[in-house]
Structure 1
Amino acid sequence: MLTSGSCAITRNTTLTGTPGVHATTRAQITTNNVTINEVNGGSTGGLAETLGTIIFSAGSSINGNWATAASAQTGGQIIFQSGSAITAPFGGGVTALIANGVGAGGQASQITATGLSVNLNGNGGNVGAKATGGGLITLNSGTTIQFAAGGGGNTGIWATGTGSQIVTTGATVNMPGGGGGDTAFAPTRVGPSLSAEARLRFQEMAAARPDCSRPRPEV
């Protein structure tokens, strides 16, 4: 964990544990072709909180099952540069990206991905990207979220809670289905209508689901 200043992790390093990389209290960590192998079972690959920042450079990868790959909390920021990857080869209930909450000064927790490749297994219950509690996720050109067939109950991108947003430009969600109950794009319902504060904004986004506007059921 880095609590102040900045550092770059040595190129070609392999890290194991939870969180694999942790930046907090305005610290900044940059990876250089780093591999994170999570310990599975509720672990986290990259955690940025309290205005900390993590930058995953080209060639960096996060691998894990039943886990969260990248988590921005309390105003933290995570940036995926082109050529980075997230892979969950087996085990359901994976969340690839989550931006949750805001910092003490109202700064949104943020994840920005450009050219990120996300590959999720077919065991079901997986989430590609989730913004909650005022978090912001931006999926830029070249970013692909790929689900395997089977499982069911998967969600491609999901915004829930006041002020939460997911903005996409040229990203792709591929969801072949097979298990039922999959939802490509899900703003959470609030009362009888969709919340005006939980937003999904799409610009030139490709998706493999014809029913992409179907909202996620109330929870």
Structure 2
Amino acid sequence: MDYETITAHAAPHRLGIVGAFHPDAKDSVPEGTGTLVLLAPKDPDFWTFFQTQPEAYDDLPDPLDRWSTRAVSDIAGRLDALPLFPFGGPPWHPFIAWARKSGSIHASPVSLLVHNDQGLMISFRGALALKETISLTPPRLSPCLLCAAPCEDACPVNALSEDGYDTAACHAFLDTPAGADCMQNGCKARRACPVSQDFGRNPVQSAYHMAQFHR
């Protein structure tokens, strides 16, 4: 088992590896897990692909989560792994803690997670608990270390800071006409991240996530 094999099975679902680590007893993973692999959408064409999937137009609730369950379970089945998801709880799997152990996902100045290649647009569709202890890519330094941090000043209501996320202030702002930009194009703080800007996230996908958050 290696990254190339996992990538090959994830690619047809437009998913890719965004981090992995060798867990220990404190990491709340299934017994017997040698490697925990985090999966996220591969942009810029993920959302276009998702729109072709049956869950996207069957008019049932939570289409993206239902598709993720099917897609990640398919990958896990082909790799003899266990699929794990950031939804469906309680109980909830500690995806944030897992991400920060991965070597490629870090804390940002606005408390959100930041990925070396996806910036503040990082989102998880699932994880694979592999029996094998596979070789990992080397850890990477946070992109925030050499960044002027435009994300810190981007939120119109200062809902995001290193102290945490004031979700009440965020929701209140989204209810105003001025909040339409965030609702339609995604969180301004996330968009301000230079790495996010190079990532190519479809604004329609960001609008979907904002609608899910603000419902």
Question: TM-score surpassing 0.5?
Answer: no
Structure richer in helix, relative to its length: 2
Q: Which has the larger radius of gyration?
A: 2
Structure richer in strand, relative to its length: 1
Which TM-score applies when normalising by structure 2? 0.25
| RCO higher in structure (CA 8 A, sep ≥6) | 2
